[in-house]
Structures are given as structure tokens and as C-alpha cells.
């Protein structure tokens, strides 16, 4: 019995020491926050050299954390207990975070270099007048094919995916809005449709696509396409750029019917402890040379028009990554469709996953 009490006392002693030291560590981090910047970004989404350069130029110390989905990022910011000074979510999530007051309005007098950004990427519906967010990268959803197995002339639009000869050849990104969106756009409807009949029609159409689907996966698509496990994939433009870097037989196309256009913008979440550092980082990233280096490294499309002049010509002239104005007309941005319809999209997607191949 005595031993038991001793043991219990020891455990309590150790945990209290740990607790007190964790408080101490927290505080020391807090007090140091005048010279640290906590960034919360997607994985593999910045040139690490730029972080070093930023630290050298400004004297701030960068603490860098990554997330793999907008929803995961949202939950961490919403639950609090974190001290992110800067985050980079996508447009529909920014819309939601503005509505729920999870992001802070920007003081535009502290932002320099916004004039480098192409006006086409400013003042968009999800954030009028860029009160809350500054463009970081943008991109599209499209089709990647391997020219060893597929004739590029035969695949130009979403509807080509339905061809019976591509049986079990296609890998799709595991996202409800992306896949239901393919059905909607092939039918000529909006990606943000809140019309039950249109959704049903899109789903009926997608049923015919099921036999051609090899798998619905997420990040693994990159690995599988590079290894030539599948000949066609539906994925995001930046992922495609990465694959094409590794495997020269791969090509990316924007479907003729149009596609999804997305933006990842920098925001200052309400958890921010060091806004000055966040502004310094925003200004740093707006610099054309920095933006160009980052775009060259990551492969996504930069909204910075002055940076485009610094990029290799073959990059900026590639209409699949920097589409012409004509092509841009067919691209549509996701809107925050609300819980009810998000649920409906997901239920349909779950049903799609359950369809048998034969």
C-alpha cells in the first residue's frame, strides 16, 4: 500500500513538473513572439530557401507548420490553443472563415506590393476588396494523361473520360465537390449548383463513369502517375506540374467544358500573436522576384503579373497552366454552398464510391 502511494506521489510529482515546465515553455515562446512568425501552410507549398531569405532580411524567426486539408486547418484555428500568425487556406474556406470571424481584416496601409498582382485575381466574390486575404497561388482542376498509353488528341474534355476504352484506367482525386463537379460541368451546370434535379442528373451521368475508375485517392495520385500505375488522372494543376517534372510522358490539360478555378490566399487568422511579422511576410511574398522563385519551385501558377515576366517563357506561355482569357471564361470558383448542400454533395459522392465496376 505504501509503495502504491509512493508510486502515485511520484507520478503526480513528475506530471506537475512537466506541466509547470510546459507553462514556462509556452510563456517563453509567447514572450519571444515579437520576433517569431508562426506560419500554417499546405505541405510542400513554399521554397524552403525563401524562408531562410525572409529570416535573414527581416530578422524574424519562422516557425513553419503544415496541414493537408482546408478542413483540418479550419478545425485547428477554430479550436484555438494555437498561435498561427499567417495561414494560407483556399477561397471557399476563406469565405467561411470571414463569416465566422476567424480571420482578421487586413490593414492595407501596411501592405506594399499589391500592385504586382494581376487585377483579375483581386476583389473576388469570396473576399470583396481583399479586406481579409492576399493572393498566394492559383490553379485549376484538370486531366493528366500519359502519352505512352493515351493519344493526346483523344482526350480534350471531361466527356472523353466516359469513353469505354478507358475502362479502369482513371484515377480520380478523392474530393466530393471535385468529382460531383465533373458531372455538373459535363452537363453544362454550375459547379456550385444548389438544384436537386441538376445534382441528380449529374449523379446519373457519373454512374456511367464508375467502370472507368481505377481508384479514388488523394496525394498518392502523384506517386502512382509517376510510376505509370494508371494512364489518366483527374487532379490539381500544381500536383500535375510536380508529376510532369518527374515523368516526361505526362501532360496536363484543361477540359473544354471548363473546370474549377481555385485560389489559395494568405490570411491573418484570429489566433495571430505577431501581426507585424505577418505583414512583413505578406510584403515579402508579394515581391516579384520572390514570387517568381516560389512559382518556379512549386509549379503552381502565380497571381503576380510582374513575377511572370521573370519566369521562363515556356512556363508562362503554357496555356494549360496560364490559360488564355478565352479559357478562363469557362473556369468557375467554388463558393461556400453551406452545410446542407455540402452534405448532399458528400452523400452523392459516397454513393458514387459504392458503385460496382461491373
Binding residues for spermidine: 92
Tell whether residue 154 is a contact of another protein (CB under 8 A). no
- Alpha-carbon span 214 to 227, nearest angstrom: 15
CA distance 348 to 337: 15
Q: x/- contact string, 217-256, with another protein (CB under 8 A)?
A: xx-x---x--xxx---------------------------
SS3 112: coil
By CB under 8 A, tell whether 129 contacts another protein: no
Q: Which stretch binds another protein (CB under 8 A): 42-50, 137-145, 180-188, 344-352?
A: 344-352
Name beta bridge partners: 266: 134
213 scored as a contact of another protein (CB under 8 A): yes
Rounded to a whole number of angstroms, the minimum distance from the CB of residue 355 to another protein is 9
What are the CA-CA distances from residue 228 to residues 19, 98, 151, 160, 267 (Å)? 51, 42, 15, 20, 38
102 binds another protein (CB under 8 A): no
Selected binder of another protein within 26, 44, 49, 71 (CB under 8 A): 71
DSSP class of 156 = -
Binding-site residue total for another protein (CB under 8 A)? Answer: 32
Cell of 279: 505583414
Contact 218, 173 (CB under 8 A): yes
Between residues 45 and 224, which has the closer beta carbon with respect to another protein?
224
CB–CB of 103/267 below 8 Å? yes
Among 214, 243, 261, 333, binds another protein (CB under 8 A): 214
Q: Are 272 and 85 in contact (CB under 8 A)?
A: yes
Q: Nearest CA to 135 among 122, 151, 125, 144? A: 122
- Contact between 45 and another protein per CB under 8 A: no
Candidates 27-35, 247-255, 281-289, 338-346; binding stretch for another protein (CB under 8 A): 338-346
The residue ranges that bind another protein (CB under 8 A) are 1, 4, 69, 71-72, 168, 171, 174, 176, 213-218, 220, 224, 227-229, 339-340, 342-343, 346-347, 349-351, 353-354, 357
Amino acid at each position: 500500500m505504501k509503495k502504491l502511494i509512493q508510486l502515485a506521489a511520484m507520478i503526480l510529482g513528475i506530471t506537475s513538473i512537466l506541466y509547470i515546465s510546459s507553462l514556462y515553455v509556452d510563456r517563453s515562446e509567447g514572450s519571444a513572439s515579437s520576433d517569431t512568425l508562426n506560419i500554417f501552410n499546405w505541405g510542400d507549398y513554399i521554397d524552403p530557401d525563401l524562408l531562410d531569405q525572409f529570416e535573414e532580411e527581416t530578422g524574424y524567426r519562422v516557425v513553419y507548420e503544415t496541414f493537408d486539408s482546408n478542413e483540418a486547418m479550419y478545425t485547428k484555428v477554430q479550436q484555438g490553443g494555437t498561435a498561427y500568425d499567417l495561414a494560407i487556406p483556399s477561397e471557399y474556406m476563406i469565405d467561411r472563415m470571414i463569416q465566422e470571424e476567424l480571420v482578421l481584416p487586413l490593414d492595407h496601409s501596411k501592405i506594399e506590393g499589391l500592385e504586382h498582382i494581376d487585377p483579375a485575381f483581386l476583389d473576388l466574390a469570396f473576399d470583396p476588396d481583399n479586406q481579409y486575404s492576399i493572393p498566394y497561388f492559383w490553379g485549376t482542376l484538370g486531366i493528366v494523361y500519359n502519352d505512352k498509353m493515351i493519344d493526346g488528341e483523344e482526350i480534350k474534355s471531361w466527356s472523353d473520360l466516359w469513353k469505354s476504352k478507358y475502362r479502369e484506367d482513371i484515377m480520380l482525386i478523392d474530393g466530393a465537390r471535385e468529382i460531383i463537379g465533373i458531372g455538373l460541368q459535363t452537363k453544362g451546370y454550375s459547379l456550385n449548383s444548389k438544384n436537386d434535379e441538376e445534382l441528380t442528373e449529374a449523379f446519373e451521368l457519373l454512374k456511367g463513369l464508375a467502370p472507368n475508375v481505377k481508384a479514388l485517392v488523394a496525394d498518392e495520385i502523384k506517386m502512382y502517375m509517376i510510376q505509370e500505375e494508371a494512364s489518366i488522372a483527374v487532379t490539381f494543376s500544381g500536383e500535375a506540374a510536380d508529376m510532369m517534372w518527374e515523368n516526361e510522358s505526362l501532360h496536363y490539360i484543361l477540359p473544354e467544358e471548363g473546370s474549377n478555378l481555385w485560389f489559395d490566399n494568405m490570411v491573418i487568422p484570429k489566433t495571430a500573436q505577431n501581426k507585424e511579422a505577418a505583414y512583413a511576410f505578406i510584403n515579402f511574398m508579394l515581391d516579384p522576384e520572390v514570387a517568381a522563385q516560389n512559382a518556379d519551385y512549386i509549379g503552381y501558377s502565380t497571381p503576380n503579373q510582374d513575377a511572370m515576366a521573370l519566369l521562363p517563357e515556356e512556363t508562362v506561355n503554357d496555356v494549360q497552366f496560364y490559360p488564355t482569357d478565352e479559357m478562363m471564361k469557362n473556369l468557375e470558383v467554388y463558393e461556400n454552398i453551406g452545410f446542407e448542400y455540402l452534405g448532399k454533395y458528400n452523400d452523392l459522392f459516397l454513393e458514387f464510391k459504392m458503385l460496382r465496376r461491373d
